[in-house]
Structure 1
């Protein structure tokens, strides 16, 4: 298993708008459909502010690549994406490999 950690820095004052758009205008449903196992979706309260962090579990890198490609090719995602991209200033993606004793998601 691998975990992808995505961190978006959004424009100041837009965290609430980002989360509302994601939840109510299709992003959440489409990502759950294509990406599968969401571990969590968060926003920062202390430290660097205006950040959205989400974690997705995959069987391996090939599983991630297949699922991300399917999401990107979905016409509904292509129509939705500009709605959310307008909030995002920067994006960082990390692939995390769990320790042997880490719980599986």
Structure 2
């Protein structure tokens, strides 16, 4: 199993707009293709205006298969075009179990 940690730094004041757009257009597509996230968070302490989400995959290959399918979905492509102006930076990490 691996966990992908995705962190998006948003424009100042854009968290509510990002959340609303994601819930209406992004989440339904991701849930259908990636499954439910392990968590979806907003930062409270440390760097501000960040959204952090965690996704579980069985393997790197599982992640690749699901992410490829995600980017073949026209509803997802439409969503990311709308969300992109709200995003300043993006960081991804792949975490693997220690224990």
Bin of the TM-score, shorter chain as denominator length: over 0.9
Q: Give yes or no for contact 1:7–1:91 (8 Å, CA) kept in 2.
A: yes
How many corresponding residue pairs?
Answer: 99
Structure 1 residue runs of 4+, over 2 Å off? none
1:7 paired residue number? 7
Structure 1's unaligned 5+ residue stretches are 101-105
Match of 2:26 in 1: 27
CA-CA distance at 1:16 after TM superposition? 1.0
Unaligned runs of 5+ in 2: none
Report the TM-score, using the length of structure 2 for normalisation. 0.96
Q: Counterparts of 1:1-105 in structure 2 under 5 Å?
A: 1-24=1-24, 26-100=25-99
Residue 45 (structure 1) shift: 1.3
